[in-house]
Structure 1
Amino acid sequence: MSSLEADLARWREHLNRFAALLGNPPDRSARPAPEAAPGHCLVFAPHPDDECIVGALPLRLQQEAGWRISNVAVTLGSNPERRESRWAELVDACGVLGFDCIRVGADGLSDVRADTAEREPELWAAHVGAIAALLTQHRPALVLAPHALDDNPSHRGVYRLVAEAIATARLDTVLAHTEFWSTQAEPNALVQTNIADTARLIAALERHAGEIERNPYHLRLPAFLADAVRRGGELVLGAGEEAPDFAFATLYRLVAYRDGQPAGDLPRHVYPADQALSSALLKS
């Protein structure tokens, strides 16, 4: 058994016990044939490891519909001495998930904060230009970025950077707002991950060895995903509705963009793991 297979088996065992405690039934997951013309998704990660924490939607699109998923390392963290090791950890983690990696510049972008445009307008304009060029090159059908009020300076900065770059590129796409440091007020998509996919996300996060040594995010990720089910049952399905019968999920707010401008939220929807994801979710 390979190291990855052993890691996945270990996490599946733990997660099955957790799901049993929550009273959830066994997974009934589909793995259909890939789409004839699969899409491309860009995940704009403020830091290496964010791609694992918010990766449920792209992981399912990659596995269930054959989408190409590219993680954009917007920054490689604030510590210059750790940037090469963080890049290596990121490549390793994305290998677990089957994601490509895109490195922005030699060391990632610097000073990506919501107020950088006012403090350093020339630097900010260069940042927006670099991300707009990526968007123009790849024309992704789906983009992931933190929501505007995710309570970390770099997360808020990446939201503003991506929103301005989408406008500059005049892109038609769907922007999936993600959350981690702060919850978002109006999520409209609850995306389940089954035991196998949840285990894969945790095993990938575990590859960020330097970060989890400082803060064991991987051990806390199951609780984060379980809490999304609690919140999503009310926020997406509606107050007082029957709770979803699964253990782990991730919340997003999906917003359609036309010609670089927001054109409206997609309808509220729950995406259980036994109903395969496809490009149709971006048109629902």
Structure 2
Amino acid sequence: MANPYLALVETHAALLQKTDAPLFADLSSLSPAKDNAAADAPVVVIFAPHPDDECIIGALPLRLQREAGFRVVNVAVTQGSNVPRKAERWAELKNACDYLAWGLRETIPGGLEAVTCKTRDGDAAAWAEKVDVIVKLLNELKPAVVVCPNDNDGHAAHIGTHYLVVDALKKAGHACQLVQSEFWRAMATPNTLIGSNSVDTADLIAALACHVGEVKRNPYHLRLTSWMADNVRRGAEVVGGAGVAAPTFSFGTIYRIDRFDGQQIAATDKKYVLSENDDIRAVLS
């Protein structure tokens, strides 16, 4: 008997190898979302280590925006390490954020440099200057929810961004929900699996396709659904519990959500597995 899964594999492979998937150097062929948040809406701030990270881990902020009326602001901590590409990456990032109706802020013109633990451990004065930049943004934006990478996310700038944000939260004495994301390395103790519906998932991919130079180099956009599907596979058991039935939703993103009490992370024992139909506000309880 012929292998009945061969057609499935070949269909999936064809999607991953698409050469005609559109990229968006501008928004003329897209219909950007509108920011319908109230003037006094609570704010989610994403501290993205690089332009494009905001789209990859953006499922929870997008749902808080669309389902709970939050305003989302992306802070571009760096604009990448390739100096000749910085202006282009900023333009791509603006298109991505405009498409999702997310606000966008720089840290400093051109973005911060050397956001790593090497700087934190070896150059206290330079690190303090970076922390002060983030403190100023926290004091201005007053986020109810802060999103940043976890402290072992497999990339020096991601790990550095984690410590930069936590150090700034502590210096500012800012209390909030702290959402730690993952991409380059799986977290040891995630506690949240957020399902995304097809529209949200497609919108994150379209926003990611605005990062033209990055996805030409590495087609993150075509592989995002595979990553999100694997998150459901893994999150079912590392969040939901070993041996439990897997969620029925197709696409998900894994996080760790705790409270930052103004001085430290106050870890919670709560765990959340939310389908695309569950009330997203449950993660803020």
Per the TM superposition, whether the score is higher than 0.5 is: yes
Identify which range, 88-97 or 264-273, moves more after superposition.
264-273
Residue 108 of structure 1 corresponds to: 111
Match in the other structure for 1:97 = 100
- Let me know the Cα RMSD of the aligned residues: 1.9
Instruction: Specify the code of the residue in structure 2 equivalent to 1:127.
Output: K
**Aligned-residue offset at 1:38:** 3.4
In structure 1, the partner of 2:136 is: 133
Cα distance in 2, alignment partners of residues 148 and 179 from structure 1: 9
Q: How many residues align?
A: 256
Q: Distance in 2 between matches of 1:101 and 1:256?
A: 24
Give the conservation status (yes or no) of the 8 Å contact 1:189–1:253: yes
Q: Which residue of 1 aligns with 2:176?
A: 173
Q: Which has the bigger relative contact order, CA under 8 A and spacing at least 6?
A: 1
**Alpha-carbon distance between aligned partners in 2 of 1:36 and 1:272, rounded to the nearest angstrom:** 29
Partners of 2:79 and 2:110 within 8 A in 1 = yes
Aligned pair partner of 2:54 in 34, 51, 54: 51
Partner in structure 2 of residue 27 of structure 1: none
The corresponding residue for 2:283 is 281
Among the aligned pairs, what percent are the same residue? Answer: 45
Q: Report what 1:150 is aligned to.
A: 153
Amino acid at match of 1:133: K
CA distance in 2, matches of 1:179, 1:91: 23
Give yes or no for contact 2:169–2:263 (8 Å, CA) kept in 1: yes
Where do residues 1-284 of structure 1 align in structure 2 (5 Å cutoff)? 3-4=29-30, 38-265=41-268, 267-278=270-281, 280-283=282-285
Alpha-carbon distance in structure 2 between the residues aligned to 1:46 and 1:220: 20
> Is the 1:34–1:65 Cα contact (8 Å) retained in structure 2?
no
- Supply the distance in 1 between the matched residues of 2:90 and 2:38 (Cα, whole angstroms): 31
1:253–1:192 CA distance, 2 compared to 1 (3 A): same
State the TM-score, normalized to the length of structure 1. Answer: 0.86
Distance 1:238 1:37 in 2: 38
Consecutive aligned runs of 4 or more in structure 1 exceeding 2 Å deviation:
33-38
Counterparts in 2 of 1:75 and 1:34: CA distance versus 1, 3 Å:
closer
Partner SS, residue 115 of structure 1: helix
Could you give the per-residue CA deviations for residues 81-126 of structure 1, whole angstroms, max 9, x where no partner exists? 1111100000000111111000111110011011212222211110
Structure 1, unmatched stretches of 5+, are 9-32
Instruction: Tell me the CA shift for residue 36 of structure 1.
Output: 10
Task: State the AA in 1 paired with 2:53.
Answer: D
